[in-house]
Structure 1
């Protein structure tokens, strides 16, 4: 990772925050949400979008690891209201469901 890429990664990481589905609904209505599968690093995906890395983004879209958030997923998120993470890479908001933390005993 170059120093410039490392700086962008750190900047995006600092801008990533938990968010509720209710707060994201206006962005969904505008078609501005990109869903990042939980197997992917949200920040790496955001960095690829920010750097316009068309090869990476196209490969993730093709593999279904990155996708425009559709109606079925929106309905699921509305019903479940899970904890989500989001980061803005204008004009997009990249969203990922936060992995469940292991239960402590």
Structure 2
């Protein structure tokens, strides 16, 4: 093996370790996880935290956000299936020791207690 020469650096070689042929929806499902209120609180404070009704799949709602399906998101908001977290929810959740299913679809965070 030849020692590296600091006067003549070699370019870095990049390679993909595998090809992810998942659909965008499948990728969002992979990034759905369980967190506590401590993780969600800063997102509530910045106004980007949303509650997702348990009847909806979190990844499907995230997909609608990521693909800018504005009409669908507005319909969920109007129906109450998607709710921007307000002070009442935040106060209750801060007092409880709940865990949440959550998904970040930057800049938004979608969640629901589990």
TM-score bin (small chain): 0.7 to 0.9
Distance 1:64 1:22 in 2: 25
Q: Point out where structure 1 has 5 or more consecutive residues left out of the alignment.
A: 1-5, 99-105
Structure ID, larger Rg:
2
Give the structure-1-normalised TM-score. 0.83
Where relative contact order (Cα < 8 A, 6+ residues apart) is larger, the structure is: 1
1:40-61 deviation line (CA, Å, top 9, x unaligned):
1111111111111111101000
Partner residue of 1:48? 64
Once the two structures are TM-superposed, the CA of residue 81 in structure 1 deviates from its matched residue by 2.2
RMSD: 1.2
In the TM superposition, 1:13-92 aligns within 5 A as 13-92=29-108
State the match for 2:23 in structure 1: 7
Segments of 4+ in structure 1 off by > 2 A?
Answer: none
Give SS of 1:52's match: coil
Alignment size in residue pairs: 93
Aligned equivalents of 1:76 and 1:8: distance in 2? 33
| Residue 80 (structure 1) shift | 1.7
